[in-house]
Structure 1
Amino acid sequence: MGKGGASGDSVGRKICKSYTYVFIWIVLSFSVIVYNKYILDKKLYNWPFPISLTMIHMAFCASIAFLLVRILRLVEPVSMSRELYLSSVVPIGALYALSLWLSNSAYIYLSVSFIQMLKALMPVAVYSIGILLKKESFKSDTMANMLSISLGVAIAAYGEAKFDSWGVILQLGAVAFEATRLVMIQILLTSKGISLNPITSLYYVAPCCFVFLSVPWIFVEYPLLKESSSFHFDFFTFGTNSLCAFALNLAVFLLVGKTSALTMNVAGVVKDWLLIAFSWSVIKDMVTPINLFGYFLAFLGVAYYNHSKLQALKAKEAQKKAAQVDEEAGRLLDEREEDGLGKKSELQN
């Protein structure tokens, strides 16, 4: 009875911890999205400089990571050669820079709710790019699922009250670059046995990302900022915004590390619905019935995709366990045969 109670308490604590990780990630992700929208939107804070904002984030994250790794030595750096850095980290940093730049730019033209609807295309982009780079195998049922998600997003876009084609292009570009980055991480780092936690990831990637962003910044935003003599750097606004972005990176690692990537995907759906509700009720963005219908179709497609991935993962784990059992049984059989031969040899002697 006591053991059963202790086991129940242990399971209860694990469930509570999992929900806590989910809650922290949702709050931080929600905060970063709304905060970025607030800063970049011309009707709110009115600072429409997405490259500059992203560079501030990267500079802040790189500085904190350098402090933790090199000064305080609280985190061990990953052993990485110059060749590996140039061939693996630099391309990932370039893709990350493009993804952040375009996604932050989209907030100037699109509502928070519509951006979340467009982000539902992420599984489609990851699967398609995975096929192109030969990391995924083509399956007709999975492709049909991808088409259903795309159809739902297309309906949501058709019903968008304040549709902006340039904003849509920016967000779709951000999705494409982010999906490519995720696939390239598997190809360039994971396949080589390199695993980066959020601190070491920012330590290596953030400076690279900052350098890539500085090139378009010099030509696109620096001249405008130079002319805007009325602008004064708001340390509180940009400091707290950067701190939220840094904390979000830690929360992602905490959620995936302590639960699973699938849990994060499910939590992401909850976050998207909360953002849509917030965008409609607080920011007063217009959300039409066609918007919601289209996104609901896309949501069903994403939910089915996550369910399929879960079933495939369970089947893979079951096969792995079965192989381990067969291997153990074979080892025991070999040991018994060796013992039998040994005893037979003794009797003959």
Structure 2
Amino acid sequence: MKRRTYIREMMQHYRQKERGDLAALRAEVSELEQELRRLEVCRIPYNPLAALPWRDVAMALRDEEGTSVSEKRLLVHQVDDMAMVIQELVQWLARKGPKGIPRSIQGDGDDTWRNTSLAAAPASRELGKAWILKRLVHHAPAIFHSFDFPAFELGNAFEDINVQFTEHGYILVGRSQYEAAEGPAALAPTFAAFKDNLCSVLVVNGLEPVPHETVVESSKTATLHRMKTWRGEGVNLLCGAVMEPTRGILVAQQIADDDRWTYSATSTQRDRMLWFERVYLPCGRKCVARMLLVVHQTKRYDGELIPLDEEAADWGGDLSMCTSLETKEARYRRHAIEFAQKSFAASRERLSRGRNARPSEG
């Protein structure tokens, strides 16, 4: 009996306590609702231009601290790398000296050693390659115009070779413009084949085939070809291409002074420059290709021209019977053009045979 009475009293106590707790909670809710209404009445309108609390600013700066440290570290490395490149170039120029850098191989004042020289240090070398190729591409429209190429839209097809004599020696100029039947998909493989077979396409070895692989350096943007011709001439051709969906241009330049190219001071060279461009006109699928090749008279390392009598060995000529400079130049011009035409024809035939033979190989 006493146990039941105790339990009943305890249950009454718990119910009273629950009712008291519930009343307290309701009172607290009422107070909070009143406080909320008061705060809403007194709330300051949001101002996007107001200053942020310092805690928010500190949190944002802390979040950005890691990114800033990483960016600073990267910039420091880039500055150090660029300083090293500058130091390499300064030492290279000091080592070369005024007499160490050959005169313009072109010889007409339109070119400088910067456009025909490469240093050995990797970063400086890549910088030099990029400069030379970018310059050739940039000047392409003006170069084509200066050599009397018609506008693409005119559709004039032609091919010619000429030899011009100047006070700086002769210049052999090969020009061609034609319509190509291939669509835009053929642009990349055409330029790849041109770049890989550059020495053969430019007939640097005359009537003789190029005897071996000539690529000595290659990257995504530049390819360097190197060889010696049958007559001992040093060929060191840098080439690169710029590709767009409907246009491509390939350029090449003889590098006269290359720190990675060991050759005798008595070696001969001749400046070669090439511009080869293919454009798909907006008036349909018509593709126009044009090529300009400029080859200068052979020079020794010091810039001295090789006499025409020695140059005539290319086509097996003898100029000793010519009684004047005019007759010597006229005879040389005639036979040099004939020799160039034969050389280009032989090169096209060799390349055509190579393309036709590939599918059956292997």
Task: Decide which structure has the larger Cα Rg and report it.
Answer: 2
Global fold match (TM > 0.5): no
Question: Which structure carries more helix by proportion?
Answer: 1
Q: Point out which structure has higher relative CO (alpha carbons under 8 A, 6+ apart).
A: 1
Normalising to structure 1: TM-score of the pair? 0.23
